[in-house]
Structure 1
Amino acid sequence: MARPSAPEQDSGPEPDRRPGAPHPREAPALFGQQAAEEGILAALRAGRVHSGWLLTGPDGVGKATLAYRIAGALLRWRPGASPPQTLEPPPGDADMRLVRAGSHPRLFVLRRGTDDRGNLRTVITVEDARALRDFLALSAADGGRRVVIIDAADDLNPNAANAILKLLEEPPPLVTLLLVCHQPARLLTTIRSRCRVLRLSPLTPTDLAAAMDAIGLATDRPLALTELAQGSPGRAVRLVNEGGLDLYADLVSLLAPLPRLDRAAAIRLAESLAGRMQDARFALAIDLADLLLTRLARAGLCGPLPEAAPGEAALFARLSPHDRAARLWAERQANLSARIRQARSVNLDPAALILDMLLSIEQTARQAAAA
């Protein structure tokens, strides 16, 4: 009998688990992705059981949850039986119970492993991929289908990506690979060309609210959460659990005096985000600043947006009143994103990085005022 996947057997950290939310394999339901679910069911009913599926879409919209639902349906599908008509597991389903426990013998989950010190690696290595090869070398005792979930394919290093490519080029019988991917452009073209694509979309406000209700998370600022989560339940969970709504409001308040920045307040914010204990808050501040710049550009091009923080509408109307200013903010957003990725790769001091970002925003505000 094939052994359970090594990543599921260890007790180390899970890179695909979001604090404050159930793991995707444990999610009680999937919201707002009926089109993607029907897409794979239609293929299965037609007998087109592709060996590779690429699940794409924004981060946090349910790609991994869908992968586990697909895995459950494929693992239940016994040889000679009719194709599954739904991805919803029947009550008490033994296969889904094993999937949710992380111990199904015909499911392998390939994801980032840990180094010798027990820390999560930043990539999926070829050593991780070799464990998958060992799994596939064993046959299933009951002759059933086997499923591999790669979460996320974005994390594959070049050698691991080539190992997956070989599997897609010469897939073993009755094996399906489900690749969760946030940015398909980062994958090898040859991997993309050998997979059937399932695209997941941002959730509507109604579906987002239902998803949050299902896991028992609520906020007294639902409009702000809807705007900042951008249709992503995963992002919404992070915003609620890590104080993201308050942090975004602090950023808007800090930028209110632009085009002249309050330097003392900027330094205080930068210093509050420094230190190892502030890693999560620092990362969230970077993401929210990037989102703020994106919203500034949109406001200049599309007009007023629903307000995500007190004073945001007035700030945007003043800083991005027309398309010329919008273009400046879009350029600043793109430039800052690239600079931040570079700075984080060399472990630049967080306080210095935040302060540099705020001063760059101040410079752009002055340019926009003169445009």
Structure 2
Amino acid sequence: MMLERLAPEQHDTLDEVPEPSENPHLFGHEQAASMLAAAYRAGKLPHALILAGPVGIGKATLAFHLAHYLLTNPDHRTAPEAFTAPNPQSALFRQVASGAHPGVLHLTRPQNDKTKGFKSVVTVDEIRKVSRFLSMTSHDGSYRVVVVDPADDMNTNAANALLKNLEEPPARTLFILIVHAPGSLLPTIRSRCQTVRLTPLDDESLLSALDSAGQPAPDEPQARAALVERAGGSVRAAILLTQYGGLEIAEALDRVVGNGHAGIAAAHKLADAVAGRDSSIQFDIFNRRALDLLADTASEAARNSDLPRAKALSDAWHDAQNAISETETYNLDKKQHVLAMIDRLNAAMRM
């Protein structure tokens, strides 16, 4: 069955997979949802939340389910004890999903008019929309919800602009920052938000979420178990692994790294596979795997008390992250980026 797409396309949209704003199903995170509902019912919901956790586990979906809960229960004293699944046929659901509801502002990476893709950061112009949004009076006294997704992607100017909004928010306003790595945020932003840490989905929730998204796991038990293990509790990771060649890309990169000159032909083959005009998702998978290799090796060095190597690998991770950002921002040659990244990984692993 074809997905009826309501939400605008975003930088990380996957074909036939619902966006968080148009997903009526929430899997896992029962404890967090219960805590947020209890805080609201007690009149103690903070004005700003950080939903922190790995990519693809449902943080933004939880944010939109919380927005629905607030909008459908304007009086906290009579709100139910638990979130109820939004009705996909309701006007409220369709307005929120399409970005047309006057009480919900969803900020993410904007489109890049030059490349026809998306910018690599959440820009200050996006954050400036908050002031205009909050200046409009809520006619029925309902909550207004601002979702920044992901807040990790804000550049410095955007972060400083958001900080001003967080300092004196209007009543009945909730900021929800979707964050993959809380350490990437300004400490002054973190100090003004309550952090809710979300964990990867358990196996049952992950498989149920995949079924719900129309992307079921393989029937064969061994393949199913391998997918669950490599996905790490992330629905997005599982879909990328199965539908976009993620397993093959990760395995190819793992083979190439460490082979030095012997792996040159394989490196070029991998670069051709992930750097094509229509391979933006594969390119992203490659970059994420490269970062994971550096992060995992740094963690292993730290566990072995080899702190100089851990520091060098951490620096290499930051350099790799900057190279990815520059390639996306300036539309640089992707094949050259891939080959340079492989060289970077080989050098880092020899440290």
Change (3 A) 1:135 1:328: closer
Show structure 1 runs of 5+ residues with no match: 1-9, 303-322
Equivalent of 1:339 in 309, 319, 332: 319
Partner of 1:264: 265
Residue in structure 2 matched with residue 54 of structure 1 by the alignment: 50
3-state SS of 1:21 partner? coil
SS state at 2:271 partner: helix
Query: Quick check: 1:104 aligned with 2:112?
Result: no
Deviation at 1:40, TM superposition (A): 0.8
* C-alpha distance 343-193 of structure 1, shift in aligned 2 (>3 A): closer
Residue 247 (structure 1) aligns with: 249
Distance in 2 between the 1:236 and 1:227 partners? 9
Which of 111, 118, 134 is 1:114 aligned to? Answer: 111
8 A contact 1:30–1:62 mirrored in 2 = yes
Q: CA deviation at 1:329?
A: 8.6
Q: Report which stretch shifted further, 275-284 or 187-196.
A: 275-284
SS across alignment from 1:261: helix
Q: 1:300 to 1:208 in 2, by over 3 A?
A: farther
* C-alpha distance in 2 between matches for 1:193 and 1:299: 31
Question: CA separation in 2, counterparts of 1:270 and 1:329?
Answer: 28
1:82 corresponds to which of 68, 78, 81: 78
Amino acid at match of 2:231: A
How many residues align? The count is 336
Q: What is the Cα deviation at residue 100 of structure 1? A: 2.8
Q: What residue in structure 2 maps to residue 174 of structure 1?
A: 172
Q: Secondary structure at the match of 1:277?
A: coil
Give the Cα separation in 2 of the matches to 1:101 and 1:95.
10
The offset of 1:223, in angstroms, is: 2.5
Contact 1:44 1:84 in 2 (8 A): no
**Residue 136 (1) aligns with residue 104 (2):** no
**Compared CA separation, residues 278 and 333, structure 1 to 2 (3 A):** farther
The structure-2 alpha-carbon separation of the partners of 1:328 and 1:238, relative to structure 1 and needing over 3 Å to count, comes to farther
- Higher mean alpha-carbon deviation, 165-174 vs 352-361, is at 352-361
In structure 1, C-alpha distance between the alignment counterparts of 2:168 and 2:348, rounded to whole Å: 52
User: Which residue of structure 2 aligns with residue 315 of structure 1?
Assistant: none
* TM superposition shift of 1:283: 2.7
What letter matches 1:130 in structure 2?
A: R
Match of 1:224 in 2: 226
Contact 2:159/2:186 (<8 A) preserved: yes
Q: How far apart are 1:258 and its partner, in Å?
A: 4.9
User: Which structure has the greater CA radius of gyration?
Assistant: 1
- Alpha carbons of structure 1 residues 277 and 133: separation in structure 2 relative to 1, 3 Å: same
Which amino acid in structure 2 is aligned with residue 41 of structure 1?
Answer: A
The CA deviation at 1:294 is: 5.5
State the partner residue of 2:236: 234
SS of the aligned residue for 1:180 comes to strand
Preserved contact between residue 161 and residue 188 of structure 1 (Cα < 8 Å): yes
Counterpart for residue 156 of structure 1: 154
Rounded to whole Å, the distance in 2 between the matches of 1:277 and 1:67 is: 31
Q: CA deviation at 1:287?
A: 2.1
Q: Conserved in 2, the CA contact under 8 Å of 1:53 and 1:178?
A: yes
Deviation string 1:49-94 (CA, Å, 9 cap, x unpaired) is 2111111111111110000000000111224752342212365655
Identity among equivalent positions (%) equals 35
Return the letter of the residue paired with 2:226: A
The equivalent residue for 2:3 is: none
Distance in 1 separating the partners of 2:163 and 2:301: 43
Q: Kindly provide the amino acid, as one letter, of the partner of residue 339 in structure 1.
A: D
Whether 1:37 and 2:44 are equivalent positions in the alignment is: no
Asked if 2 retains the 8 angstrom alpha-carbon contact of 1:165 and 1:191, the reply is: yes
Note closer, same or farther for the CA distance 1:128–1:362 as it changes in structure 2 (3 Å cut).
closer
Measure how far apart 1:252 and its partner are: 4.5
TM-score, scaled relative to structure 2: 0.81
User: 2:32 and 2:156 mapped to 1: Cα distance?
Assistant: 29
Is the CA contact (8 Å cut-off) linking 1:224 and 1:245 kept in structure 2? no
CA distance in 1 between counterparts of 2:66 and 2:147 reads 10
The answer for unaligned runs of 5 or more in structure 2 is 1-5
- Please give the alpha-carbon distance, in whole angstroms, between the structure 1 residues aligned to 2:71 and 2:119: 29
Task: Work out the CA distance in 1 between the residues paired with 2:335 and 2:32.
Answer: 42
Residue 52 of structure 1 aligns to which amino acid in structure 2? A
Cα distance in structure 2, aligned partners of 1:77 and 1:15: 32
1:349 Cα deviation (Å)?
A: 4.3
Cα 1:360–1:253 shift into 2, 3 Å: same
Give the Cα–Cα distance (whole angstroms) in 2 for the partners of residues 178 and 297 of structure 1: 31
RMSD: 3.3
